[in-house]
Structure 1
């Protein structure tokens, strides 16, 4: 059998039928409807449903490139990494990931639960939608997936063997470039609203800022603390009032825990900044922003509680016997989260792969004003990351952010 070509609305139905997945939908290919999902940048996604039976599923195919950027070559094996990570997450935090029905490493095709009862968190936050259980769910998800894939829990040999299996060098290099290098220098991949030009020039010229980012870049490249999602932004989270699901872990590898924490918390800060333009009513804006900061704080508090509970129950006590070290460990994770969160914000605002929080704002001046607030928050986080003591400190820096234009 030759290499599978890019699926389309017709061939994806034939593929499912040939792979024995008809029972998941009921009927046969002639009864099904396939719809492409175009929200992502990297993979082909289809929702295939049987309207008569009320069933549906998601088909994900990895190509040898990012489908939205065909010149951006990527390994198809990234989907094998995604499948492996979903299996790990299903062991430790099953409520927070979709169920996998089928995976073919040869075809680079993954078939999984359709989360059509959920919304993409990023899009919903733009509209002021609140998710009352997201902080609880995501704090627990990060605590369990990170602790139980770290040296705190895994025997040394097993941890190193797992890390060697999930090296993911190509997608790690993508993140090294797009998050930690290109946004801080003139580069053809960078994009930003024209009114931001003076601020961007300041950032390019700020060697002190760049030095802090390089510290984080080195940690990203050298620290193999735990299996991290590595792209845990609000576009990789699907949620409703009762459930929260993490998707798209294809960038995963064994890296610094603070990267996952910071990426998510940084995206909450981006939602806060973007809401500058998404809400005209002052009271509505204040109330929703208060909720975002409460969610930021609660996410960390849940993470801390769950991480410490796992440590108390399952740490290799003969290896990690110091209570004082445990306190330092958690404090360092919070500080790392602030630093990595700042890098994520810079990337989304002036680098490549912008987010709909901002590009959905049609008026250029309004968009740039919101983006400048995001840059001010990012600069505050990167200037303060080594000194932070509490998640309330992070929230205070967000609240103190200014529109610089």
Structure 2
């Protein structure tokens, strides 16, 4: 595949004026907001912020690249991604916003032939990953996102849709490409949990070797990957982590929805919970920060994980109660039993995701990359691996999400 030319700032200015998004005589300030970014997770697209310095009008110009930018920039590997991601992203954003108003940016313009989307500027918000690293807390985030995920699960699955409509939606919201990427990242022998060529610090190497040699764990993870890839339970974001969330005191938005589509629900719930596990264990590697502050952040992380699962369950109960009179089939389903049908895969996915984000390489997220000392990083890696090892083998011992959080605290509490 030939490398696609990336738009320059001058070309962006010409483009937005040509398509009537700004007047021809507007003086524009255009800034690449990906260049120099300290976090590499999800680095796939070219993104500019465009501002009319006179009127103050702003928008985001996003060029969806047909390859993974991070791999190209860091390893020189040109890994193609499928066509049509621009249209898929817009469709996913619109649908998510219909189901849960205000959860995604507004779209002003799209050009599928060149992979371009012009959308609402969310720079009044902050990226959640960096906010958490700065010890900022958003108390109701877990409950609200858990409720959002439950609504996506309910309204885009066979709980609500008839078989014909769901089949039609599956053709529109196809996520097989994204799922293949994640299967390779999380559920194959090439994942960081099993790949012995991945770099871990000295204190974590023994734990990593033990896990990498555990054939039972490998088979369990491979089987999870099969369920994830084959799953078409509901429409999912499919790349849901704190780096893809913009947040403020009273506002939360999801970004980078281009991989949105039908998938196994445990992937979204597990990956966002995994982000909070990464943040939780990272505080072990930050001894320079005040003990009480780190302890409070760890407590907050566990509260958010509980909130995600509890918020999801409570919203499911409400939706079942509301729609049972109109849908007799729902009367035969217990919402708590339905929730538990994906609970164990969700906590396993959370622990697996967190462990796979900790190796010492360019792909580690900001919370891990900021750890200065090798010994501190080794401790963080070891604890994340231990959480994953135990959870993968013993998830069925957890009766509720609080049990899982107790394990995290036992393994990695300050």
| Same fold, TM-score > 0.5, yes or no | yes
1:394-405 equivalence runs, <5 A: 394-402=404-412
Q: How does 1:3-402 map to 2 (within 5 A)?
A: 5-22=5-22, 27-28=23-24, 30-38=26-34, 39=37, 40-70=42-72, 71-181=78-188, 182-183=190-191, 184-186=193-195, 190-193=198-201, 195-278=203-286, 280-314=289-323, 317-324=327-334, 326-350=335-359, 353-402=363-412
Deviation string, structure 1 residues 298-357 (Cα, Å, up to 9, x no partner): 222222111222222236623332143x32111122222102112212321249832111
| Distance across 2 between alignment mates of 1:194 and 1:87 | 47
Residue 96 of structure 1 aligns to a residue whose secondary structure is: coil
| Offset, 1:194 | 5.4
What do residues 63-85 of structure 1 show as CA deviations (whole Å, max 9, x unaligned)? Answer: 22122222222124222221111
8 Å contact kept, 2:175–2:263: no
**Residue 75 of structure 2: aligned partner:** none
TM-score by length of 1: 0.91
Query: Deviation per CA, 1:65-111, whole angstroms, max 9, x where unpaired?
Result: 12222222212422222111101101111222111111121121111
TM superposition shift of 1:249: 1.8
Contact 1:58 1:112 in 2 (8 A): yes
Cα distance in 1, alignment partners of residues 275 and 229 from structure 2: 22
Unaligned runs of 5+ in 1: none
Relative to structure 1, is the Cα distance of residues 193 and 61 closer, same or farther in structure 2, using a 3 angstrom cutoff?
Answer: farther
State the 1:53 CA deviation: 2.1
> How many residues are matched?
396
Q: Over the residues paired in the alignment, what is the CA RMSD in angstroms?
A: 2.3
Cα contact 1:133–1:243 (8 A) shared by 2: no
Structure 2: segments with no counterpart, 5+ residues: 73-77
Q: Tell me if the contact between 1:4 and 1:107 (Cα under 8 Å) persists in the aligned partners.
A: no
**Structure 2 CA distance for aligned equivalents of residues 194 and 46 of structure 1:** 40
**Misfit runs of 4+, over 6 Å:** none
Q: Supply the distance in 1 between the matched residues of 2:223 and 2:246 (Cα, whole angstroms).
A: 32
Determine if contact 1:178/1:352 at 8 Å carries over to the other structure. no
- CA deviation vs aligned residue, 1:25-62 (integer Å, no higher than 9, x gap): xx446511111111451000111112322221111111
Give the direction of change, closer, same or farther, for the CA distance of 1:29–1:219 in structure 2 (3 Å limit): farther
